[in-house]
Structure 1
Amino acid sequence: MEEQAYLDLKRGERGAFISIIAYLCLSSLKIIVGFFAGSEALKADGLNNATDIVASVAVLIGLKLSQRPPDDDHPYGHWKAETVASMVASFIMMGVGIQVSYQAITSVFNRIEESPDLIAGWTGLFCALVMFFVYRYNKKLANEINSQSVMAAAKDNLSDAWVSVGTFIGIVGAQFGLPWLDPITAIIVGLIICKTAWEIFRDASHHLTDGFDQKELEAYKTTITNCYGVKGVKDIKARNYGNNVVVDVVILVNSQLDVKNAHDIASMVEDKLIKEHSVYDVIVHVEPN
């Protein structure tokens, strides 16, 4: 189980690398075309992608650190480095979102007399299609390896795709005598970036403070109560270590059982949770009933 968890982290690196390469290419394209075509929205979109490179590098570093084995300072391993990386990425994205919105608001009052060249719009649409395919790949990968940081990268990818679609709409609209629509779209770009950053921060902080989905906890409880010899579940808790789930449970068994039989029931509970729910580790405490 542990070996598979490390292999999943290695697979997650592939998604981070793909995001970095895509952002390098698309940010360069958007900033250059946006500059020559006079589009504030496309330049804002390109700036967003440029900082997404930093966020993706943070995710990659987090994935690599998570693969370190336990040591004296980290007896439980370095799994949470992946979640910390997601939080760092959210801070970077929030800073960019605020900056993009501020610059766009300024441009509304300072420069609304000219419409950007239509090539900027087609560039935005092309980039949106590229980012959508990157999003599909990273989302599929994140679900397969149950990686929070790769899913955060996928959400960022999808956000960028919608941002580029909005850029395209704003630039095309500006061709119909509404040049102010382009910087207005840039403001929306900034708000979308901030929204995505908040969602990633919310999920990462929830994991770091040992928050856990109650529906999943109920599913674990149902599986445990269906195990032979378990008379009830007195207490159950779960927490995340990166993409791994650790469960602590107190079960009730017949008070007449000897130590060996009680231990066998506890082992059965461990095996069931690991096999049916892909739980990384289970700590079972037995109490007589």
Structure 2
Amino acid sequence: MQERYQNLKIAQRGVLLNITAYIVLTLLKLVVGQLSHSATLLADGSNNLTDIFSSCAIMVGLRLARRPPDEHHQYGHWKAETIATLLTSLIMLLVGLSVLYSSIRDLFLQESSIPDIHALFVGLFSGCVMYIIYLRNTKRAAAIHSEALAAIAKDSRNDAWTSFSTTAAIIGANFSMPWLDGLAALIIGLLILKTAYNIFSASAFSLSDGFDDDLLDEYTAAVQKIPGVELVHNIQGRSYGANIFIDIIIWVDPQMTVRQSHHITEKIESLLRRKYGVFDTDVHVEPWDIDYEPQQPNELNSH
């Protein structure tokens, strides 16, 4: 348990690095974008502005998730991280719509202008910075098994590619294609909306206790190899932040002693924790029904 809380602190430090970088780059892009008349750089800066709020929401969620279980939250506060991620997606949605509206207006009104060359260097510099942060946080997320930090890292990677696209658009705009700057801003707006939708879908799925059926199939196959387990009768999973909770019903020989069946449950808990990183496993033992006809895996795991 203590290790999980320590991992949350490590994830918070990774998010803090993102916030610091986003603040600096947002100010740089908005100022230079305004001075150089670059709609793409302004759109990119607006995207980073949402990332500041998003990262702050994740930071608050990680802090709340560190609270220990209490009378009203017996499973802990792990879902605070997921709720913060959901709020982040809504912020991104609003900004994405704003960027999309501005870019379409500029294209139809033909208000695009040729950006100054300084905007190019800002885009290139920002892309390099965010990609370095992406590599650093991805490595750290893999080491501590943090889904939140991994998501932040992927967002940094998207921002890096967006900045590189901004650079390409500014180059094109300086070669007698000024409309390319507005078009790139339109694409960035669509990317923001796509990212917001993906984050919202994943968060809503987790908060509604959705779980990956493929993982349940893996758990089922592994558990049924344990000696003494006649059949995995039912298995259900749910996530609390980065922590996985599994409820499983197994059938064993009716003549088996209580001590023997308890020993099997300990093996199951140990296996799922060691091999798959399952945080908590609740195993229920029932006597084997010889006349039972096994169901298909997708029917067995439905919940």
Distance 1:192 1:113, change over 3 A: closer
Cα pair 1:251 1:285 within 8 Å, conserved: yes
Give aligned-pair identity as a percent: 43
Counterpart CA distance in 2 for 1:111 and 1:73 is 58
Q: What is residue 151 of structure 1 aligned with on the other side?
A: 150
Higher mean alpha-carbon deviation, 44-53 vs 16-25, is at: 44-53
What's the CA shift for 1:111? 4.8
What's the CA shift for 1:134? 1.2
Counterpart CA distance in 1 for 2:20 and 2:45 is 14
After TM superposition, the structure 1 = structure 2 runs for residues 156-195 of structure 1, keeping only pairs within 5 Å, are 156-195=155-194
Distance 1:113 1:196, change over 3 A: closer
**AA aligned opposite 2:8:** L
After TM superposition, the structure 1 = structure 2 runs for residues 1-289 of structure 1, keeping only pairs within 5 Å, are 2-112=1-111, 114-289=113-288
Counterpart CA distance in 2 for 1:164 and 1:156 is 12
Counterpart CA distance in 2 for 1:41 and 1:55 is 21
Any idea what SS the aligned residue of 1:172 has?
A: helix
**AA aligned opposite 1:124:** G
What's the CA shift for 1:142? 2.4
Counterpart CA distance in 2 for 1:151 and 1:94 is 20
Any idea what SS the aligned residue of 2:107 has?
A: helix
Counterpart CA distance in 2 for 1:154 and 1:195 is 17
TM-score, normalised with respect to structure 1: 0.96
What's the CA shift for 1:219? 1.5
Counterpart CA distance in 1 for 2:82 and 2:221 is 28
**AA aligned opposite 2:263:** D
Counterpart CA distance in 1 for 2:95 and 2:187 is 13
Cα pair 2:106 2:112 within 8 Å, conserved: no
**AA aligned opposite 2:7:** D
Counterpart CA distance in 1 for 2:55 and 2:110 is 33
Counterpart CA distance in 2 for 1:84 and 1:131 is 25
* CA displacement 1:79-135 (0-9 Å, x = unmatched): 000111111111111111110111111122345463111110121111011111111
Higher mean alpha-carbon deviation, 185-194 vs 133-142, is at: 133-142
Q: How many correspondences in the alignment? A: 288
Cα pair 1:86 1:152 within 8 Å, conserved: no
Cα pair 1:112 1:179 within 8 Å, conserved: no
**AA aligned opposite 1:45:** D
**AA aligned opposite 1:37:** S
Higher mean alpha-carbon deviation, 231-240 vs 269-278, is at: 269-278
Counterpart CA distance in 1 for 2:43 and 2:274 is 47
Q: What is residue 298 of structure 2 aligned with on the other side?
A: none
**AA aligned opposite 1:263:** H
What's the CA shift for 1:144? 2.5
Counterpart CA distance in 2 for 1:221 and 1:65 is 33
Distance 1:245 1:75, change over 3 A: same
Cα pair 1:121 1:172 within 8 Å, conserved: yes
Counterpart CA distance in 2 for 1:53 and 1:200 is 16
Q: What is residue 291 of structure 2 aligned with on the other side?
A: none
Any idea what SS the aligned residue of 1:153 has?
A: helix
Aligned CA-pair RMSD: 1.3
Any idea what SS the aligned residue of 1:226 has?
A: coil
**AA aligned opposite 1:36:** L
**AA aligned opposite 1:265:** I
TM-score, normalised with respect to structure 2: 0.92
* CA displacement 1:53-91 (0-9 Å, x = unmatched): 011000000000000011122111100001111111111
Cα pair 2:138 2:153 within 8 Å, conserved: yes
Cα pair 1:159 1:193 within 8 Å, conserved: no
Any idea what SS the aligned residue of 2:198 has?
A: helix
Q: Which runs of 5+ in 2 are unaligned?
A: 289-303
Cα pair 1:23 1:50 within 8 Å, conserved: yes
Cα pair 1:217 1:237 within 8 Å, conserved: yes
Counterpart CA distance in 1 for 2:112 and 2:2 is 60
Counterpart CA distance in 1 for 2:157 and 2:204 is 21
